[in-house]
Amino acid sequence: MRWLTYIKKKWRKYYWSVVGMTALCCVGLGYIGFEKHLTAIGQEYSSWDLIYRSIQLFALEGGAVTGPVSWELQVARLLAPATAAYIAVRALSLIFREQYNLIKIRFIKGHVVICGLGRKGMLLAQKYRQLQNQVVVIELDEENDLLEQCRGIGCIVFIGNATDRELLLKARCHKADYLFIVSGNDGVNAEIAVHAREMVKERKGKALTCIVHVVDPQLCNLLKEQELVAGSNDAFRLEFFNIFDSGARIWLKQYSPFRVRDGSAKSHPHLLIVGAGKMGENLLVQVAKNWKTLNPNFKKKFPITIIDKKAHFKKELFHFLYPRLEQICDLTYLQMDIESPEFQRGDYLFKLNKKCNVSSIFVCLDNDSFALSTAMALLKHVRNERIPIIVRMTRDGGLSRLLKDNRKADEIFSTIESFALLDQTCQPDIIFGGTHETIARAIHEEYLSNKKEMGETPKTNPSIVSWEQLPEHLKESNRRQADHIGEKLRSIQCGIAPLNDWDEQLINFDQEEIKKLARMEHERWLSERKLEGWRSGQKNIEKKTTPSLVPWEELSEKDKKYNLNAAKKLPVFMAKAGLKIFRLKENKIE
């Protein structure tokens, strides 16, 4: 029931205030009650005597008196021990829960650790508990309203600073499968990741996957290259993610501004983006990339109008960050305040002939209520045009749920859709779509294509299945191959950087470089398989046997060809993850 939930929430928030006021009331009533009683029986007393007797009531002492008892004393001698008992029970339950958690956590491994219990952390905890995973949460704020909800779904909760190495050890971070770091501070997140890396140096078997949320999208892009530049670490895998980047990709899958019909785009699409903050910027970039894919020869630019109160500044920034953007899109920047009469009139929505100038509208404002009111203001002008208006919301609840209810009840609102950013992006399968995972998937896709060309089938090779059907240990092998890319590239004097120029020519390796990369990958794979107990023999995943478990010189020509092709296509795999390979200096491979 909602009223009961509301009361519990308020009680957690004001618990100590209520208990403190109750204790003071007990002392006050006891003081008055003892004063009346001692006066009635003619006994001398001082103020300190009255205070001492009142405090004794909490320990069930001093309350047994003869003679008349005032109602104040009667209430005090009942309420005071009840308050003391409640505090004692509460304290004992907290101590018991803490000790129980410490005992329980000693026996768990392969669990999920979440550092930071904000909205993202809570959603992740709920998702993994639904998947029956053990979840340990570390939260700094002991007054966090989500703590009880988190405990209620079966999570183990530790209160403290996740940058404390001892607390990470207590949460058995070194035995976990996944570590999610989702506090609101990028610096704190990075510090936790550093401690986690140090803790698992001696770890054997499956690597600890550490997934760090980075608030700043640009910083996230810069850090992504470091995931691979750092080189191979069999015990630790670091991934960075940003909800705005992931959100933009999902948004456009659900609400494309250029629906494809019969192989061609809509006749006159024109997108209006209201708000060029983090969400608006990522949407703009993803729209441009998608349009480039549809129109590789740039025969037609995609028209986009951007409204923001700092539109001129955003124009210069985007031109600097994304140099090809204006070659792909016909951009119009309108600098205006959303609350201004200029915006409310909506003249920018129409051409000179009063015909609507846009085909879809994306509202990307941070405040939910402000975003919804902006969408309603736009709806007044385009209601008859049936223009879709997509509004960025934080969660699928509250105003978002109200909007959905209104859409069902009134057709007027049917063109307004809400996009719940956190609900859409804080999903395990979305978060795991980081750099390593993207490259690992690309490697497996190349493997499938290569093996099918050779005439192999799932019957002859059980590994010829989609990524989703691939056994976890083979997925992990592909991820380890991605982990090792930085080390391979350093061996041929190459580095990694973000691919911001989408038309940039990808690097081409020479034959000596390709051969060295292929040989290094086979040696890595060979070492990995031997450590996992694989043996030479006919390919059998269940029995862990493969005919390729031989040195490079003894490898079949067919397998050598596969490794050489994979090495040659490494720049393509990197481009799929938004990265490029560049030469540090021109050196021939010896």
Residue 3 has pLDDT above 70, yes or no: no
Give the range among 9-13, 121-125, 358-362, 533-537 with minimum mean pLDDT. Answer: 9-13
Q: Which residues pair with 273 in a beta bridge?
A: 306, 362
CB atoms within 10 A of CB 107: 8
Residue 305 has pLDDT above 90, yes or no: yes
Residue 364 — very low, low, confident or very high, per pLDDT cuts 50/70/90? very high
Rounded Cα distance between 322 and 286, Å, is 11
- Mean pLDDT across the stretch 435-449? 82
**pLDDT tens digit string along 86-117?**
888 888 877 777 777 777 788 888 899 999 99
DSSP string, 112-135: EEEE--SHHHHHHHHHHHHTT--E
Residue 265 has pLDDT above 50, yes or no: no
Q: Which residue has the higher pLDDT, 264 or 280?
A: 280
**pLDDT tens digit string along 143-160?**
888 888 888 898 999 999
- Mean pLDDT across the stretch 193-210? 86
- Mean pLDDT across the stretch 214-224? 70
Rounded Cα distance between 462 and 321, Å, is 44
Residue 266 — very low, low, confident or very high, per pLDDT cuts 50/70/90? very low
pTM (two decimals): 0.69
State residue 116's pLDDT score: 93
Residue with tokens 């670091």: 238
Nearest to 144 by CA among 11, 12, 17, 7: 12
Residue 56's SS3 state is: helix
Residue 218 has pLDDT above 90, yes or no: no
Give the range among 65-69, 171-175, 323-327, 385-389 with minimum mean pLDDT. Answer: 65-69
Residue 2 has pLDDT above 70, yes or no: no
- Mean pLDDT across the stretch 229-250? 79
**pLDDT tens digit string along 321-361?**
888 888 889 999 999 999 999 999 999 998 766 778 899 99
Give 556's contacts (C-beta < 8 A, 6+ positions apart).
547, 548
State residue 58's pLDDT score: 85
Residue with tokens 């056994």: 471
Q: Which residue has the higher pLDDT, 296 or 476?
A: 476
Residue 433 — very low, low, confident or very high, per pLDDT cuts 50/70/90? low
Q: Which residue has the higher pLDDT, 317 or 428?
A: 317
Rounded Cα distance between 66 and 220, Å, is 75
Please tell me what DSSP assigns to residue 454: T
Q: Are 516 and 589 in contact (CB under 8 A)?
A: yes
Q: What mean pLDDT, rounded, does the chain reach? A: 83
